[in-house]
Each structure stands twice: as C-alpha cells, then as structure tokens.
Amino acid sequence: MRERMGHPRKKDPALGQILQGDAPFGAEAPPLGAFLKEEIRAGERGFTFRGREPLREIAAHLDGILRLGLPGRTVSVLKGAQVGLTTLAIGLALYAAAVRRLNVGYFLPDQDFADRFDATRVRPLLRGSKLARAMREGCWKGASPKGLLEFPGLDGSRFLYVLGLRDIGNAISLPLDLLIRDEVDDLPPGNLKWSEDRLDASRLALTVNLAVGRMPGEGIHAMYLRGDQRRWLVPCLGCGKEWALEEEWPGVLKEEEGRLLLACPGCGAALSPRAGRWAAAAPGESGGERSYRLSQLAVPAIGLERVAAKWEAARLPGERARFRCSSLAMPDAGEMQPLTRALFRRLRDEAPCWLEEVPA
C-alpha cells in the first residue's frame, strides 16, 4: 500500500545522501556542488567545473541561498552561448526538488520548446545516476509524465515543472519556491511578470534568470543592470592589470607561432581565463540582486579558435551584432535596434536635424 501511494520503501544505502532531509533546507543534505558531480551526467562524463571555472562561484552562491534559506533573492546571468549554464540550471532544479524538497518551475519560451528540452536536456542528464535509479526502480518513484518530475517524500511530494511560458495558464497555475527562467529574451513579457506571482506563498522565493541577451537595456540585459553587475576579470602577470576580456575584444586576441592565445592589451603577456575572478561593478546599487555577465572568452572549454573563426566570418554589421551577443555576452540589437525615445534623443543630441516641408 505504501508503494502504491508513492511513499519510499526502505532507503538504499547507495542513495543515502540523495534521499536524506525530507524537511526543507535539511542540514544533512549534500551541497549543490557534490550533487552536480555525483548525479548530473554531461555527455559521457559527470559534471565538472574544469574549463568552466566561472560557474563555480555561481553554483556556490546558489547553494548558499538554499542552505541558509535566504528569502526573496534573484540571480540573473547574461551569458554567451554554450557556456554550461543551462546544465548548471537543470542540476539546480533537480537538486532543489529532490534534495532541498522545493517546488521548482523551469520556464522556456513555448511548450514545444519545453517538451523538447525536457526530453533532450533534463532527463538525459540523469542517466546512470543514483537518483534516476531510485526513481526508476520504485524505492523513490513518483509521477514522471512529459514536463513533470515528482519527488515523493515523508513530507509529501515536490515537483519539477518544465513548461513553456507562452501559455498564460502555465504562468499562473503553480505554487513555486524556485523559479528558473531560461531564454529570458524570448519569454512573453506579460507572462514573465505573471510568473513572479507563483513565488508569493514561498518562504524562499528564489528567482534565477538566464539568457543570451540581444536588446541593450531590455530582457536579461535589464536584469543584469538591476543587479550588482559582476564581470569575470582576468589578471595579467606581466603588468598587474585585470581585464574583462569581452570588453577588449578583439584587442585581446593574439597569434604567436601559429597559435591563437589571449593576451594583455597593455603589455602583450599571455592571459589565462582560469585565473580570473568575479568582481561587482555596482555592489551597492543592486538591492541585494546578484547578476553576472559570462562570455565565451571566460570559458576555456569553448575553443578560442572557434570564437576567432566566428569573428573572422562575421563581416556584415548584423553578423557582428550576433557575435557580440552570442560570444561576448554584450547585447547588440544590430539591425533590430528598436525606435525608442532614448534613440531619438541621442540622434537629436549627437547629430541635430530639422524637419522642413518638401516642396510640391
């Protein structure tokens, strides 16, 4: 009877750490970093911070929020493409639901996108893990239809929902403790606001936003600007200066003996992104919101040769704009620049013009 109702049977010792702590914020729960390493499969290997060193602090900060139960926090990441943050966000979602006993919503632009994401990104990351075995073999088995994972426990079930935000019903129908919004710039702005109300009854109410930004001052870029605006600064051992590599591109790109490397734009010494650190540009102006800008240049797992090749192939203004968005995490609307009051004011101030009647 207990099995049919979804209650766990006697716990497998191999699953000890995963299934401990039915109470929210349980003191015996493993840290997020250990969960990622043991339970999340990135390709054929387990999750690793090697080559993606900037993710380590982001994970540690999120772990601290969950461990201490800090209420009402927001973490926003303006990112380059394929920097590993989505894998981290999925791991966070699974950890929060399974270990920290929280209800989690992972929102994407539309339901077709969300269904593919669930099938190709969320579930494959669990293959071969102890948590997946527990869910499959029944000692911790709950419902798992498309877009939903249930994690039963002695204190009731917790859920991970993977949903598209195009449907207003998905934005208003779920009570959540953790709200993860991926591809923020493609989420409907109205439903984005409605989704925030899903946290009103939670004592944690944690929001995580992430996306490649396209429009300056809009979407994820606006969220980054509302936060403390952390940049990955890489030190130069030659002159002692620190550099945000994306702000100096392509001045940090150097070829030496047929090999591409990152070099100090001041003295020319080689730079190692692995040695960087996060530094906040606006630490006292964020109201407690944490924000990061993570470019591909800060992630050695993404080959510099590939980044340089994309830059070389980007000849047209629109192509350069896409490169700045996807590789440098520097939003550039390019040919999509919207006509705004701010743009008209800038045009008026920088290049005064007047309207006159056209002769008949």
User: Residue 286 sits in a domain of what CATH number?
Assistant: 3.40.50.300
pLDDT on residue 193: 87
Number of domains in the chain: 1
- Whole-angstrom Cα distance, residue 17 to residue 176? 24
286: left (phi over 0), alpha (psi -120 to 50) or beta: alpha
pLDDT on residue 313: 96
Evaluate whether residue 351 is within a structural domain.
no
Evaluate whether residue 1 is within a structural domain.
no
Q: Which residues on adjacent β-strands are paired with residue 233?
A: 244, 277
- Whole-angstrom Cα distance, residue 283 to residue 294? 17
pLDDT value at 16 more than 50: no
Evaluate whether residue 65 is within a structural domain.
yes
Which structural domain, as residue segments, surrounds residue 316?
A: 13-346
Evaluate whether residue 292 is within a structural domain.
yes
Evaluate whether residue 32 is within a structural domain.
yes
Helix H or strand E segment including 195: helix 189-196
B/e letters for 329-345, b = 16+ CB within 10 Å, e = fewer, are: bbbbbbeeeeeeeeeee
Evaluate whether residue 121 is within a structural domain.
yes
Among 1-15, 35-49, 117-131, 260-274, the minimum mean pLDDT is found in 1-15
pLDDT digits (tens, 9 = 90+) for 338-360: 555 655 566 566 665 555 555 65
Evaluate whether residue 3 is within a structural domain.
no
Q: What mean pLDDT is reported for the chain? A: 84
Q: Which residue has the higher pLDDT, 228 or 169?
A: 228
Helix H or strand E segment including 181: strand 178-182
Mean pLDDT of 266-288: 91
pLDDT digits (tens, 9 = 90+) for 292-342: 999 999 999 999 999 999 999 999 999 999 999 999 999 998 765 555 565
**Percentage of the chain lying above the pLDDT 70 cut:** 79
pLDDT on residue 8: 42
pLDDT on residue 134: 65
> Residue 357: how many CB atoms within 10 A of its CB?
5
Evaluate whether residue 354 is within a structural domain.
no
pTM for this predicted structure: 0.84
